[in-house]
Amino acid sequence: MGKQSFDASKEHALQLDQQDELASFRDEFYIKEDSIYLIGNSLGLLSKRAEKSLENLKESWKEYGIGGWTEGENPWFYMSEKLGEMSAPLVGAKPEEVIATGSTTVDLHQLVATFYKPEGKKTKILADELTFPSDIFALQSQLKLKGYEPAEHLVQVKSPDGRIVEEDDIIDAMTDEIALIMLPSVMYRSGQVLDMKRLTEEAHKRGITIGFDLCHSIGALPHALSEWGADFAFWCNYKYVNAGPGSVAGIYVHEKHLGEAPGLAGWFSSDKNKQFDMDHQLTPATTAGAFQIGTPHMLSLAPLKGSLEIFEEAGIDRLRKKSLRLTQYMMDLVEHELKDYGFEIGNPREDHRRGGHVYLEHPEAARICTALKANKVIPDFRNPNGIRLTPAALYNTFEDVWNAIHILKRIMDEEQYKQYENKRGVVA
């Protein structure tokens, strides 16, 4: 789409929606028609199918009581494995390499406890300075548990501009002191996509184990973890995957590591046929199931089934294509309509480096977000000056994007944001 030929009319937005082969998926979701939900990267909306699979879980509990573990259509005892299998296409893995379990941060603890094996000179962990705080806290505490001082043993690659981290700088930091690398697939603020294939190759050339946090890419873009040879990955399922607040997360471990004992063991790490032997000698599962700890949180797991069925139908490649068109359209509209209002587009522009959201920077971002919410456009604010706008490919429309940007323009023209204080809420 050349700049000269950009059509900024509302009719064009409606036309794009008419041509959208994924448009019907919007009907699968509970959408508030009087508002524009652009925060699917923080908490995805409820779908009718996720509601149904949650409902089915409730019914199986009513019907079978404890028998639900092994009886009924979806025996609970095997659900984590089944949902791992269903998640595998989203991360480009083999079914046995994926398990639905735990929560994001707990899963990171598990993976670092398993794969961080300091030895000789190789004692450090490599991350980046823009990473989500929870991940950093987990890495720091894992270092302390092994008796290392985080200030010295956690190496964080610098960002040149507070938005992105250069792959070249990460590779330069892969010294012979690094034992483990943990990086995000997509930066949670700027939406930068890291080249996971290249980073994995470079890490392995140097004999370093590497894993990724997929929180901002799972359900938004395709991965080929298994083919790339990535050692491990983990993610939440409540953002683009729409499985509900605090839903059970996911772990991937490359098949070459399957059979290794988990760093944090529990009885659900067991080979399923041995688990009820009640032996004090753990026989770990030979699948990614070994990285489970205790009894699965069935109520938080159940909605994932319905959510993943939707992804099976829509296909992650088609969703990524639509997502790129939506975010491109949003950036084009921002440039067309909001030129002189002090906004800067803080996400990378190129398709292969741009995740699922647009990141607008503005000195008044906090109160502009408050004004957007007062106008029923739901963005999220990220300290200190960022507005994340996520048109989710499963349920947002080009018309949503057009309306949101025009509402934003009105807020700026009328200086509506000046009614509010320029500070964030408790959860923002």
Ligand X SMILES: *Cc1c(COP(=O)(O)O)cnc(C)c1O
Candidates 27-35, 60-68, 128-136, 378-386: pick the segment binding ligand X (CB under 6 A): 128-136
Please state, as a whole number, how many other Cβ atoms lie within 10 Å of the Cβ of residue 166: 16
CB 54 within 8 A of CB 302: yes
250 binds ligand X (CB under 6 A): no
Which of 37, 115, 116, 132 forms a contact with ligand X (CB under 6 A)? 132
> From the CB of 230, what's the least distance to ligand X, in Å?
16
Our separate counts of H helices and E strands in the chain read 13, 13
103 binds ligand X (CB under 6 A): yes
Candidates 103-111, 140-148, 257-265, 271-279: pick the segment binding ligand X (CB under 6 A): 103-111
213 binds ligand X (CB under 6 A): yes
Beta carbon nearer to ligand X, 103 or 327? 103
Give the three-class secondary structure for 124.
strand
289 binds ligand X (CB under 6 A): no
Which of 74, 78, 94, 105 forms a contact with ligand X (CB under 6 A)? 105
Contact letters for ligand X, residues 372-401 (x by CB under 6 A): ------------------------------
84-106 b/e with 16+ CB inside 10 Å = b? bbbbbbbbbbbebbbbbbbbbbb
Candidates 140-148, 195-203, 212-220, 357-365: pick the segment binding ligand X (CB under 6 A): 212-220
Token digits of residue 206: 């140097």
Q: How far apart are CA 259 and CA 321, in angstroms?
A: 37
216 binds ligand X (CB under 6 A): yes
> From the CB of 385, what's the least distance to ligand X, in Å?
19
Locus of tokens 């323009």: 409
Q: Between β-strands 386-389 and 358-361, what pairing exists: parallel, antiparallel or unpaired? A: antiparallel
Q: Name residue 315's amino acid.
A: G
189 binds ligand X (CB under 6 A): no
> From the CB of 256, what's the least distance to ligand X, in Å?
25
142 binds ligand X (CB under 6 A): no
Per-residue H/E/C for 44-74: CCCEHHHHHHHHHHHHHHHHHHHHHHCCCCC
Beta carbon nearer to ligand X, 187 or 366? 187
Q: How far apart are CA 179 and CA 191, in angstroms?
A: 27
Q: How far apart are CA 108 and CA 128, in angstroms?
A: 15
Contacts with ligand X, residue ranges (CB under 6 A): 103-105, 132, 134-135, 184, 188, 213, 215-216, 236
